[in-house]
Amino acid sequence: MDTILKSFLQKIDQGDYEDIPKLADWLEAHDDPRAELARTASTLEPQEIAEELVKVRSMRPDHDSLVNVLVMLGVAAATGAPDLIPVAFRASQFESAPTTPVWWPPSAKKCLNDVEKAIEIKKLPADIARAMTNARRIKVDRLLAAFPPREQPTPLSPPAPD
């Protein structure tokens, strides 16, 4: 296997996504049909990000933090061990469950609008940044899957102990 190709794949697998267009150029120069796949992996469309944003926003939040605090306080009171009580309580520890029993999944259209707006104003909320990371990783995984295992980068082994 070509050492340049192996180097590109290893860097991309480790998260150096700036090398994807370089890999595409290299593959194109060597008449490799996977160049187009590499080109598509180097960009993200708002729709791809929005699809991942729907998944990110579909994860239901954990609302058992109040219960955990009450249990911790009860155990501390029962055992007489005040050091079990945390010094700094966060506001999130006192959140209660939603008042409505129905949880509404996010709208794909709203997610797409949110992604487009975030890109337009160049300000990414955490959930959109997470969706971008997920979408990028999916494209990179598809790209790396196009290379046979003998061409796949080998994981770096830790240095031998002295």
pLDDT, position 158: 64
Q: Where are the domains of the chain?
A: 3-59+105-151, 65-94
**Could you tell me the CA-to-CA distances from 24 to 29, 138, 139 in Å, in that order?**
9, 17, 14
pLDDT for position 106 = 86
Measured between alpha carbons, how far is 88 from 157 in angstroms, rounded to an integer?
Answer: 41
Q: Is the pTM of this model over 0.75?
A: no
- What pLDDT sits at residue 98? 43
- Tens of pLDDT along the chain (162 residues) come to 688 899 999 999 998 899 999 999 999 999 999 999 999 999 999 999 999 999 998 876 555 556 666 676 777 777 766 555 555 555 444 444 444 445 677 889 999 999 999 999 999 899 999 999 999 999 999 999 998 875 555 555 666 666
Q: Rounded distance, CA 45 to CA 32, Å?
A: 24
For residue 68, the model assigns a pLDDT of 65
Distances (CA, A) of 50 to 104, 124, 126: 17, 13, 13
Q: Provide the token pair at 153.
A: 């980068």
